[in-house]
Structure 1
Amino acid sequence: MMRMAMASAGLNRLAEGRWTLHSRFTQAVNFSHASGELLTFYRYGKGMGPAGILLSTRDFARLATVTAFEKQGQTLFINGTPLSARRMLTLTITPTRLVLADLSSFHADSGLCGPLHQLSLDAPPCQSLLRGLQRWSCGEKPDWLSLTGLGPGLTPSGDDMLVGAMAVLFASQFSSHIQQHPFLPSADQLALLTTSVSCSYLNSARVGAFSSPVLRVVRHLQHGRDPRSAIRRLLTVGHTSGADMLAGIVVALKWLQVSPRRSMHARSGNDSYIYPGSGDGELFPRRQFTTQNARRD
């Protein structure tokens, strides 16, 4: 049995005691606690989630016969053998300015909004997300009933869009506003609206923790680097989960571009948390950004 994992993340947020097998997949194995929380083991090479353990391919295969373990702090006891991690990761975002991603070369299908290269803010899920973002930014309680649990799979598409949008909010200096005005329903309410696996990702997102593929996209957008390789990596996540999170990221970025935070403080001029980047081909053309800013000003 393995004694040392490659890395762990978010274990301090998870309950102590006994965890039992929830679901098993080729790239991830989920275990659940009586509290309803999930802890995920990830196979190396497919990214790391916001709360779980990263294992080598050989050690991941050894989970095939594991049905339960005990958690004590940062250590898991599997069949009596302690498992700890070489590295403890903090999968959070440092706020700074963002660029807008161009999806024109990505034809992957999202779960709710069609092909990414044809993503339209007029699509009903995008409109639901935009309305919720606007209500939340004004200090009102957003109504996510039209998005939470919407779509097939263990992480429904509407939930994935919310995760992507929350990554943008944390990346663009909204973290303090999230603490004052909760973006999501409480964990208990959320458990009634969607799947347990999706709740795990959403509850991590509410504290600013995201999977490594999401973080990589956001960090490329923050630093003006070519995001295309990071986007392609995110698109490999799940059946449409990566595409849905990317849709949420782009919708939230476009909302930030055209919706100044009037309700939070008086301000003038361009949005300081979005910039047009270097004008390279992988970003929105500077001409498009300038035209949109001119309309708003």
Structure 2
Amino acid sequence: MSLPEIPVAAPPRVADRIAGAPDGAVAVLHACAGMVHLELPGVGPGRVVGVGSAAAAGLPHALRTTLESLPLGRQDPPHNLPTRPGEMSSQALPTAYVESGILYLGGRALVARRLVGVRAPRLDAVRIPKASPVAAMGTPRPRGAGLVAGPDCVDAGRVVDLVGRGEGLTPWGDDVLCGWLVARRAAGVPTPEVDAAVRQALPRTTALSATLLECAMAGEAADLVLAYLIALGAEPGTGSRPVIAAGSALRALGHSSGAGLAHGVDLALGRPAGRTAA
């Protein structure tokens, strides 16, 4: 008897990416009870898809479920699925695969029942100063991030010093860049030189982080980043309670990712630097 489907909410580009993916085994990059990161077949950025539990943070590359925990058990995929050399054996089968445009995890089909918006809200570009007062304060450095000194602003020449710099699935420098890029999109400020430099540097970082940078260049961000931008758009004053609450919630995301994202937003919008990581 087949297992029941898992209804999911999907960002539009993620739904299209899965629908267009070739049939076959999907690599599992990282898995825990609350979030799984999967690498679809293919080349180039944007090929990593997340699957989150009900309690997981909403990410721009991730499907959202209402499950308390995700099905991570190994299940046999259909026998007619193509495989890459050395990828599968009868002893070691993938936990995830794509068949006919549907992603399966733990043998259960993840079926998109609705789309969820992940694009940044448009902010009033008039509020964005040409010179950022945060520049003099520098980029906060998280513990163990591996950055000797963060740049005091973002431009095409500094991208190489940020992409892939730091530890973890999403290095600190990439988090700062993601926040900066999506905030500039929200403000309607074009960044062609930075975009080109980021695309050229993507091979320097992790597949997951490259996907999130690609999302940021498309104006897409985590729910907590969107909430922070919405608060800033409604309450541009730095001391308003909604801005403080949204900023604090964002900075609490992950080990240092939220702090990097928040700093990137603040840097892009010319706000005073937020709380630095310990």
What TM-score, normalized by structure 2, do the two folds share? 0.70
The alignment status of 1:183 with 2:199, answered yes or no, reads: no
Distance 1:208 1:131, change over 3 A: closer
Q: How does 1:123-272 map to 2 (within 5 A)?
A: 124-127=149-152, 130-132=153-155, 141-174=156-189, 177-178=190-191, 181=193, 183-185=195-197, 187=199, 189-224=200-235, 226-254=242-270
Q: Find the residue that maps to 1:125 and give its secondary structure.
A: coil
- Amino acid corresponding to residue 109 of structure 2 in structure 1: P
Q: 2 CA distance for matches of 1:64 and 1:16?
A: 23
Q: How does 1:44-55 map to 2 (within 5 A)?
A: 44-55=54-65
Deviations 1:151-204 (A, max 9, x none): 111111000000010121011112xx24x55524465x4442111111110011
The alignment status of 1:69 with 2:97, answered yes or no, reads: yes
- Amino acid corresponding to residue 254 of structure 1 in structure 2: G
Distance 1:213 1:125, change over 3 A: same
Taking only the aligned residue pairs, the percentage that are identical comes to 22
Q: 2 CA distance for matches of 1:88 and 1:44?
A: 16
Alpha-carbon shift at residue 2 of structure 1 (Å): 4.5
Q: 2 CA distance for matches of 1:222 and 1:61?
A: 35
Q: 2 CA distance for matches of 1:95 and 1:81?
A: 37
Alpha-carbon shift at residue 241 of structure 1 (Å): 0.4
Compute the RMSD of aligned alpha carbons: 2.9
Q: Any gaps of 5 or more consecutive residues in structure 1?
A: 101-111, 116-122, 133-140, 258-297
The alignment status of 1:40 with 2:50, answered yes or no, reads: yes
Deviations 1:39-85 (A, max 9, x none): 11112123211122112234x33234361220544x32457653212
Alpha-carbon shift at residue 27 of structure 1 (Å): 2.6
Query: Which of 13, 17, 21 is residue 16 of structure 1 equivalent to?
Result: 21
Q: 2 CA distance for matches of 1:29 and 1:90?
A: 20
Distance 1:25 1:244, change over 3 A: same
Q: 2 CA distance for matches of 1:235 and 1:252?
A: 16
Q: Any gaps of 5 or more consecutive residues in structure 2?
A: 76-94, 129-138, 143-147, 273-278
Q: 1 CA distance for matches of 2:173 and 2:188?
A: 23
Alpha-carbon shift at residue 125 of structure 1 (Å): 1.6
Q: 2 CA distance for matches of 1:114 and 1:182?
A: 22
